Amino acid sequence: MLTIDLTSLSTGIHHLELSPSAEQAELDPSTFEDLHVDVVLQYHRDRVLVKLHATAAAELTCDRTLQPYHEDLEGTYNVLFGPPSMVGQEGEEFDEVRPLEPSDREIDLADVVRDTLLLAIPQRRIAPGAEDEPIARKFGATEEEADEEEPVDPRWSDLKELKDGE
C-alpha cells in the first residue's frame, strides 16, 4: 500500500517525493525497480486533488529479439478524491474522481501509481539497437547440415537406410 496521511495536512498545496518499493505499488519486483513518485496535493477540507508524476526502471523483453533490456518509464496522472456526490463528474484538471468520505484519514495511491507505470510501458517493446539486427526468416537445419549429420545413436542407422532407400 502507498498511503498518504491526511490528518497531518493543512489546507493548501503540498509537495511530496516518494520512493516506494515495487511491492508497495503492487508491481512485480523482478520487472520494476527504482520507483520515484512526485506528488502535488491540493488539499481542502472535503477534497484532495492529486497530481502525480511517476518514474521507474523496468526490465522488458524485446518483441523483435526476445532479449531482455532496461527502459526508463514515466507517466503522469491526476485524480480528485472528493465527496461521493462528485464521483462520476469530469473536469479539465483531473482524469477521474474517487470518493473521499469525511471520516477518511488517508488516501491510497498504490493503484494509481501502478496503473500509471503499467500504461507507460510501450505497446511495442523494441530494445535499443534491435532495429538494426537482421531477422531470421528460416529456422531449423539447412539441407547441407541435414546431409552432414550422423545419427547420434547407431541403432537409428537401419531406419536411415530405409529412408534413403525410398
Residues composing the chain: 166
Task: Please identify which residue in the block is written with the cell numbers 526490465.
Answer: 59
Give me the percent of the chain exceeding a pLDDT of 70.
Answer: 87
Residues forming a β-bridge with 82: 99
Residue 155 has pLDDT above 60, yes or no: yes
Average pLDDT over residues 136-165: 70
- Which among 17, 44, 45, 46 is positioned nearest to 113, based on CA atoms? 17
Residue-wise pLDDT tens digits, 31-62? 999 999 999 999 988 899 999 999 999 999 99
Write down the domain spans for the chain.
3-132
- For 62, other C-beta atoms within 10 Å of its C-beta total 18
> Cell for 47?
477534497
Which residues does 52 contact at the CB level (< 8 Å), separation at least 6?
Answer: 37, 38, 39, 40, 76, 77, 78, 79, 109, 112, 113, 116
> Cell for 12?
493548501
Tell me the residue type at 15: H
Q: How confident is the model at residue 147 (pLDDT cuts 50, 70, 90)?
A: low
Tell me the residue type at 163: K
- Which among 12, 109, 92 is positioned nearest to 100, based on CA atoms? 109
Select the more confidently predicted residue: 76 or 162: 76
Residue-wise pLDDT tens digits, 61-109? 999 888 999 999 999 999 999 887 777 666 655 668 888 888 889 999 9
Residue 134 has pLDDT above 70, yes or no: yes
Average pLDDT over residues 128-153: 70
User: Mean pLDDT across the chain, nearest whole number?
Assistant: 85
- For 105, other C-beta atoms within 10 Å of its C-beta total 10
Question: Quick one: the chain helix, strand, coil %, rounded to 5?
Answer: 20, 35, 45
pTM of the model: 0.73
- Which among 1, 2, 86 is positioned nearest to 49, based on CA atoms? 86
Select the more confidently predicted residue: 76 or 137: 76
